[in-house]
Structure 1
Amino acid sequence: MPLLEGINYGGEKTAVIFDIGAVYTKCGFAGETGPRCIIPSTVKGPKKGQEVNICRSTDEKELYDLLKSFFNKLYFRHLLVNPKERRVVVVESVFCPTVFRDTLAKVLFEHYQVPSVLFAPNHLVALFTLGIPSALVIDVGQKETQVLPVFEGVLLLKAWQALPVAGEAIEKNLEAQLLEGCNVKTAQSTDKPLSSLMVRCCFVTKLSRAKQMQAVAQGTGDTGQELTPPPGIDYPLDGSTVLHIAGKIRETACEVLFERDAEETSVATLLLEAIMKSPVDARKTLAENIIVIGGTSMLLGFKARLVEELRDLREKPRYKERLFVDAFKFHSPPGKENYVAWLGGAVFGALEVLASRSVTQEMYRADPVLPDWCTLHETEELDEKASLHKKMAATR
């Protein structure tokens, strides 16, 4: 049973909150301070023993079967609740593929027969954890980094910025460096080449050191000055197999986030571009209310480096003459970055307004087209269609 069951209205049972990520899925109950479980977004596929990521399926029929199996595991193994008795809040990206969104709704309404579903944008619900109406939210996840301003509760979609650089890019960069210069030692004391490794021992270095390393790599720095690398570590793989990771690799693996590409874009420039595309009177507020979410942002030193990058870029001609922002201030949400969006959904799921903003079972049967978060008139139209559907059913 949820710990805070009593905060709901009308005697309803606590809503269930799902946040399906590209790598991990968070699930739990509304009103709680953290998800009940964080599990990989995978399920056994048609082939025996094969684990399939539900977010990577593009075939609608296959996706339906995968989601059906995945939610069976969530409901009956981890949450232990009857899906027919609880409303659902799905925390999603604003740019979630339509086929995934529609198929998920079909699974929840038709197979599990949930009472209602609310699809809530992760950038918006992150603000609920702090009780503020405006913020610049940066989501550094697995596939990409997205920046979206929220001003007075409204998503400024025209200022949206994204870059396909996040956790996956770090893993590829780390893997390339490890494969190039690292071997593993086994119990027989023989060195074997490495095939892959998870990111667990890397960190984001300071901007000053990053500039020095870049100058040395380009041959423009002081050749007589050597940078002392951080200490290497021994990473146990499986029992007696140990990988030694050089300190230089630990320090440089995450630089892919801040290296500017051919278009001079990086994770830091996304924030500045999003601010400049926002209304002038909202820029100061957004710069002083920055929220960082996403699992990749939990890397040691990430926030400190991001602040340094923003301050450094602010002095560049492109931004100095147009930005007019004195300071950048970051919020500290009451939870880890990887589940802040889920926590915002849990806060919203405990509110009385949840019922009026959700798509109910009757509304979905009347018209399976899902309305957007802020499209109130579409929700009203669905209410009318659902009411008409009930009257027609009663006269049959």
Structure 2
Amino acid sequence: MPIHDNDRHAVVLEIGRAYTKCGFVGENEPRVIIPSKLEGTKKREGIYLHEYSTKKELHSNLVKFLHHIFFKYLLVNHRERRIVIVESLLCPTEFREVLANVLYVHFEVPSVLFVPSHLVTLYTLGISTALVIDIGHEETTMIPVCEGTPLIHAWQAQPLGNKAIQERLESLLLLRAKVQGNGGQKIDLVDVMPKLSRAVLEDIVVRTCFVTTLPRARQLVAARTHEDGPSPPVPPPTILYPLSGNNNLTLDGSVREESAEVLFETDNEMVSLASMVLDAILASPIDFRVPLAENLVIIGGGCMLPGLKFRLLAEIKDLQQHPKYSSRIALKALKVHRPPAKSNYTAWLGGAILGATEAIATRSYAREVYMQTNRVPDWNNLADNTKEVDSRAG
């Protein structure tokens, strides 16, 4: 008997690289947002789910992690709940297969519905065409969605996310930062703490860092690269960040300002966040280029940094004048949607909306079918995306 009663709402999970959002369909926000890792001891930071060596290790970690979700945070009987998994289209196939095996075999859930995060994000806005920009922990992925269809051939992905910002922040801190103790004496951070934990770096980014404006960023570059160039602008205020014990980390204003610049610096192939947006639009059908530019949806925890969206739009408008793009694309306006949820769980909300419709019953993959085939359909597998040819067709 299909389970679709009002008192047995399906569970919605979005397992990200850094954080996992979990809750129930029909709700407007997750019940809880937790780190995507197994809790460690005082000496160890913990094991993140995506940092595994073998499939066996991943299977074991997922079993423990999902057990905490079902019995500690959601307090539900997993055998009576359908599951909605909000995943990226670029999710590793191995991770997807192991996750499916854990849900179907170990937890014996009745059915699972895998939904692409970039597509269901549009369910929160009621639109069918947009360029979805997901700035996550390890990477930024951009996929154009045209009339409800993700254009896989136009996808863009680069390792530009919170991890890159944290790595730049750590290098700047070890180079410039001082630690101030009770006596007022300042010591180089590298002599006190040669490596900062991921939790500390993340906390510093969230609490103190921001994205500066494009004109000010150009001033900083000019002052740094030209000896006879203009003097650098006045840096933001220096603040004290409490470390372990009575030590305080002196956070220079220039460090807070420059850490996020890694997202907009071009690499050897002249790729940045701005160029990724224009490349994704150019790779889309010509009739959809203007609608895509006028329907930008920026999601992910990385885009919550103050000033990031404004800076990204400024970078795109400036890059449009480059010869590479000026002769091929003419965008009159760039418009960014404001979804009815915080950026870090907008995709989860889209999955909760879809799961509240009849799709949960018609599109879910039942456990009985999985136990016979031992696999779930995958968009990148031709066996699941090729129409069978009728042998009787002449």
TM above 0.5: yes
CA distance in 1 between counterparts of 2:79 and 2:378 reads 24
Aligned to 2:392: none
Q: Classify the secondary structure of the residue corresponding to 2:132.
A: strand
Structure 1 residues 308-323: aligned runs within 5 Å: 308-323=314-329
**CA distance in structure 2 between the aligned counterparts of 1:204 and 1:221, rounded to whole angstroms:** 26
Aligned to 1:393: none
Q: Quote the residue 1:278 is aligned against.
A: 284
The letter for the 2-side match of 1:54 is: L
Kindly indicate whether residue 92 of structure 2 is the aligned counterpart of residue 97 of structure 1.
Answer: yes
Q: Deviations over 1:197-223 (max 9, x none)?
A: 422311000000111111111107733
Equivalent in 83, 87, 96 of residue 88 of structure 1: 83
Percent of aligned pairs with the same residue?
46
Answer yes or no: is the 8 Å Cα contact 2:240–2:249 preserved in 1.
yes
1:305 and 2:300 aligned: no
Which residue number corresponds to residue 15 of structure 1?
10
Alignment of 1:190-269 (within 5 A): 190-192=185-187, 193=189, 194=193, 195-196=195-196, 197-198=200-201, 199-200=205-206, 201-219=208-226, 222-223=229-230, 225-238=231-244, 240-269=246-275
The answer to whether the Cα contact below 8 Å between 2:220 and 2:232 also exists between their aligned partners in 1 is: no
Question: Is the CA contact 1:149–1:286 (under 8 Å) kept in the aligned structure 2?
Answer: yes
Q: Normalising to structure 1: TM-score of the pair?
A: 0.89
Matches within 5 A, 1:1-396: 10-11=5-6, 13-44=8-39, 51-192=46-187, 193=189, 194=193, 195-196=195-196, 197-198=200-201, 199-200=205-206, 201-219=208-226, 222-223=229-230, 225-238=231-244, 240-372=246-378, 378=384
**Which segment drifts farther, 261-270 or 234-243?**
234-243
Which residue of 2 is the match for residue 392 of structure 1? none
Deviation at 1:24, TM superposition (A): 0.8
Measured after TM superposition, the shift of residue 237 of structure 1 is 2.4
What runs of 5+ residues in structure 1 fail to find an aligned partner?
Answer: 1-7, 382-396
Judge which range, 119-128 or 180-189, deviates more: 180-189
What's the offset of the Cα at 1:372? 3.1
Count of residue pairs brought into register by the alignment: 373
Q: Which whole-Å deviations, capped at 9, do the CAs of 1:270-307 have from their partners, x for residues lacking one?
A: 11000000000011111110000111110000000001
Distance of 2:344 and 2:43 partners within structure 1:
31
Measure, in 1, the Cα distance between the counterparts of 2:259 and 2:45.
Answer: 30
| Distance (Å, rounded) in 1 between the aligned partners of 2:229 and 2:237 | 23
Distance change (3 Å), C-alpha of 1:28 and 1:379: farther
Q: In 2 relative to 1, CA 149–379 (structure 1 residues): closer, same or farther, beyond 3 Å?
A: closer
Question: What secondary structure, in the 3-state scheme, does the structure 2 residue paired with 1:55 have?
Answer: coil
Equivalent residues of 2:379, 2:385 under 8 A apart: no
C-alpha distance in structure 1 between counterparts of 2:339 and 2:309, whole Å: 13
Residue of structure 2 equivalent to 1:387: none
Counterparts of 1:9 and 1:18, CA distance in 2:
17
Q: Structure 1 136/81 Cα, relative in aligned 2: closer, same or farther at 3 Å?
A: same
Give the conservation status (yes or no) of the 8 Å contact 2:290–2:331.
Answer: yes
8 Å contact from structure 1 (residues 22, 55) kept in 2? yes
Q: What is the root-mean-square deviation in Å for CA atoms of aligned residues? A: 2.4
* Partner AA of 1:285 in structure 2: P
Asked if 2 retains the 8 angstrom alpha-carbon contact of 1:64 and 1:103, the reply is: yes
Query: Structure 1 residue 351: deviation in Å?
Result: 0.8
Q: For the residues of structure 2 that align with 1:18 and 1:332, how far apart are their CA atoms?
A: 23
Q: Unpaired runs of 5+ in structure 2?
A: 388-394
Shift of 1:9: 5.3
Tell me if the contact between 1:121 and 1:373 (Cα under 8 Å) persists in the aligned partners. Answer: no
C-alpha distance after superposition, 1:127-171 (max 9, x if no partner): 111010011001111111111000011010110011112111110
Amino acid of the residue matched to residue 213 of structure 2? K
Distance 1:98 1:34 in 2: 28
Confirm or deny: 8 A CA contact 1:120 1:373 kept in the other structure: no
The aligned amino acid for 1:126 is T
Cα distance in 1 for partners of 2:313, 2:264 equals: 12
Letter in 1 for 2:151: L
Say if 1:375 and 1:353 are closer, same or farther in 2 by CA, change over 3 A: farther
- The whole-number CA distance in structure 1 between the counterparts of 2:91 and 2:381 is 17
Distance 2:274 2:142 in 1: 10
Is the 8 Å Cα contact of residues 138 and 146 (structure 1) preserved in structure 2? yes
Shift of 1:44: 4.6
* TM-aligned CA distance change 1:376 to 1:350, over 3 Å: farther
